[in-house]
Chains A and B, each alone.
Chain A
Amino acid sequence: MVGTKVLREFGLFRGLDDGDLAGIAELCQERPMKSGEVIFSEGTRAQYLHLCRSGKVEIVIRVREPWNKNVTVHTAGPGELFGWSAMVAPYTYTASAEGTDDGEEIRIMGADMLKLFDKNPRVGLVVWRNLSAEISARLTQTRQRLSTEWLTAGVPSTSGASTWGEPKRR
């Protein structure tokens, strides 16, 4: 069984006390991850929340026509949440996750987590807020990564990836 000390390492649970974490620990399943294993695939139904306990996981978006290639938008390591789609509608993975090192994940059924929040709204409030912050960080990473991908694909440019257009207040 996963201990509360382990759960404390995850940003998703920041702000929760030992009693709260003990309730979450009861819902956790530990599972080994192999290098090269596809843990979940973009577009499929999301049932679990995924947390990386050890090893590394690449989060990959498929860039369709005319590029037809996979872009890694983030590499998750220990202590990171890497799959949250089981918590928010439409409950479908928006990216794929592939193990790049052997390691271990902790997964929680999304439906179980939602039931726990309904019983204990304070825990729900804290976790939802942390989850929003995690998704927000992913948004920034995804935008930067796609921009870099664009540059390395050979698009002629004299400016760097950090040079952005500027909206003007009118």
Chain B
Amino acid sequence: MVQVDVLKQVPFFSGVDRSVLQQLIQVGSLRSYRANELCFIEGEDAENFYILLSGRVCLERRLPLHWVHEVVPIHIVSETEVFGWSALAGPGHFTASARCKTDCEVIALKGRALLRILDENTSAGHLVMKRLAAIVASRLSETSERLLREMADFECWRVM
């Protein structure tokens, strides 16, 4: 069972009323993963939103087969950070895979139930969705930067 005090330590939910956090823990479950296991795979239905409690997770994106690398890291998730934003906004499927770099413990929150709770608690919803937009914008920047670096690296390699 997830405890409210654990959620209070998560910056993404900072400032959210305890009564809302009480509702959130009802739709969350604790999960454990071994190093190198995937919490989710790019392209699969985005059902859960994740909070990393311990360990380290790498978000990685596929590249076209002819690129130098098949998969590139986009972001390393640290403890108390959230990931899996596609469950709350976006195309309905994950746009990256989440690979555990170490043994990890996470909270998985059901995306639809989380959205319903936020809709019913607009102050908390405003706070949380504002932070979510910042995360999505940050992933866009990180992805663009990484792809441009891949292109540049390949071009350097090609002309050598």
Q: Is A40 an interface residue (CB 8 A)?
A: no
Q: Are A94 and B140 in contact (CB under 8 A)?
A: yes
Nearest A residue to B155 via CB reads: A66
Query: How many chain-A residues does the 8 Å CB contact rule pick out?
Result: 49
A138 in complex: contacting residue of B37, B69, B70, B140, CB < 8 Å: B140
- Kindly state the separation between the CA atoms of A129 and B148 in the bound complex, as whole angstroms: 28
Nearest B residue to A156 via CB reads: B66
Total A-B contacts with CB atoms under 8 angstroms apart: 150
A162 partner residues in chain B, CB cutoff 8 A: 64
B156 partner residues in chain A, CB cutoff 8 A: 66
Measured between C-beta atoms, what is the minimum distance from B58 to chain A in Å? 11
| A125/B91 contact (C-beta < 8 A), A63-B151, A164-B64, A167-B97 known | no
Interface of B is mostly: helix
- Interface membership of chain A positions 127-170, coded 1 if the CB is closer than 8 angstroms to chain B and 0 otherwise: 01101110111111011001101110001111101111111011
CB-contacts of B10-41 with A (<8 A): 36-38, 41
Q: Are A139 and B136 in contact (CB under 8 A)?
A: yes
Q: Are B140 and A135 in contact (CB under 8 A)?
A: yes
Nearest A residue to B34 via CB reads: A170
Nearest A residue to B137 via CB reads: A88
Closest A-B pairs by Cβ, 9 of them: A165-B70, A132-B89, A128-B129, A136-B90, A121-B126, A124-B126, A157-B66, A125-B125, A164-B62
